């Protein structure tokens, strides 16, 4: 597939059905309370970050119905100052990433297709193996939903053993000659750039720097959602601050 150049932001997908509510609060690592038209319901939160500046009671949220005890999954939280929604749901982030590859929106993955999801590599399950012609490419994505003081997207917002392990795996694969990518999904609108967050996890900050030195390709894309559940790719190759 030839590289395509699109006018951004580009509409990638739409979630439906989708419902608008108001966040009541976080009641556990994976559960939030949402007011849906006067009924307070529990919704599954798939994002393990602290999200202190995102999961603010009183903000509008978007949820989708699911077939489970909780009935709903949290997908978006309003950034009221910009009239758009953070995509906090990692499953939705994965969908927009996969669809962007399928549509040829990410120039560094031109001609690639997803060969395998969640491959086991040593002790780690990475997100993808891509087939790019005759090459196999290992990809790990990370959710960046922390907005820095300069409008940058940041990762992580707390210590993450899992994140450390995944980046260490990419470094090892790269040192063995494999093609590897670490892609930060900056899931908010009007992002200026991506920046590793040294105060969130110092080890991750150091590992990102080491990954670049060892040949891991580090990229960032910016995506966001509107009030109707439409997800947009705003920048397929967001500028980055060095770790």
Residue range 53-72: mean pLDDT, rounded? 96
Binned at pLDDT 50, 70 and 90, residue 3 comes out as very low
> Please, is 120 exposed, middle or buried when counting C-beta atoms within 10 Å of its C-beta (0-12, 13-18, 19+)?
exposed
Alpha-carbon torsion (212, 125, 225, 87), positive or negative: negative
In the chain, which residues fall in CATH 3.40.1350.60?
90-235
Task: Indicate if the pLDDT at residue 2 is higher than 50.
Answer: no
In this predicted structure, the answer to whether residue 160 has a pLDDT above a threshold of 50 is yes
The answer to whether 229 touches 222, Cβ cutoff 8 Å, is no
> Residue 20 pLDDT more than 60?
yes
Q: How far out from the chain centre does Cα 152 lie? A: 14
In this prediction, residue 242 carries a pLDDT of 73
Q: Is the pTM of this model over 0.85?
A: yes
Q: How confident is the model at residue 82 (pLDDT cuts 50, 70, 90)?
A: confident
Is a pLDDT exceeding 60 seen at residue 214? yes
* CB contact set of 110 (below 8 Å; sequence gap of 6+): 1, 2, 3, 104
For the chain, give every residue range classified as CATH 2.40.50.580: 14-87
Which fold does the domain 90-235 belong to in CATH? Answer: Trna Endonuclease; Chain: A, domain 1 (3.40.1350)
Whether the pLDDT of residue 178 is over 80: the answer is: yes
Which DSSP category does 172 fall into?
H
Question: CA 182, CA 108: separation in Å to the nearest integer?
Answer: 12
Residue 96 confidence (pLDDT) above 90: yes
CATH number belonging to the domain at 14-87, selected among 4.10.320.10, 1.10.3720.10, 3.40.50.300, 2.40.50.580: 2.40.50.580
**What is residue 80's predicted lDDT score, i.e. its pLDDT?**
78
């Amino acid at each position: 597939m030839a590289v395509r150049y699109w006018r951004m932001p580009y509409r990638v997908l739409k979630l439906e059905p989708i419902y608008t509510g108001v966040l009541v609060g976080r009641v556990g690592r994976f559960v939030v309370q949402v007011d849906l038209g006067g009924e307070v319901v529990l919704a599954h939160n798939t994002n393990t970050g602290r999200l202190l500046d995102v999961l603010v009671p009183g903000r509008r949220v978007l949820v989708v119905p699911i077939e489970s005890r909780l009935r709903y999954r949290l997908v978006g939280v309003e950034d009221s100052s910009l009239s758009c929604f953070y995509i906090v749901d990692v499953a939705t982030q994965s969908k927009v990433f996969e669809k962007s590859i399928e549509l040829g929106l990410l120039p560094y993955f031109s001609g690639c297709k997803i060969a395998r999801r969640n491959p086991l590599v040593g002790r780690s399950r990475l997100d993808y193996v891509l087939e790019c012609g005759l090459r196999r490419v290992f990809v790990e994505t990370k959710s960046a939903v922390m907005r820095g003081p300069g409008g940058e997207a940041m990762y992580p917002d707390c210590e993450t053993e899992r994140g450390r392990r995944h980046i260490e795996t990419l470094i090892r694969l790269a040192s063995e000659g494999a093609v590897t990518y670490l892609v930060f999904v900056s899931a908010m609108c009007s992002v200026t750039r991506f920046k590793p967050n040294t105060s969130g996890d110092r080890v991750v900050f150091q590992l990102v720097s080491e990954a670049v030195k060892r040949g891991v390709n580090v990229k960032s894309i910016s995506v966001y959602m509107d009030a109707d559940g439409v997800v947009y790719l705003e920048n397929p190759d967001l500028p980055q601050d060095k770790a």
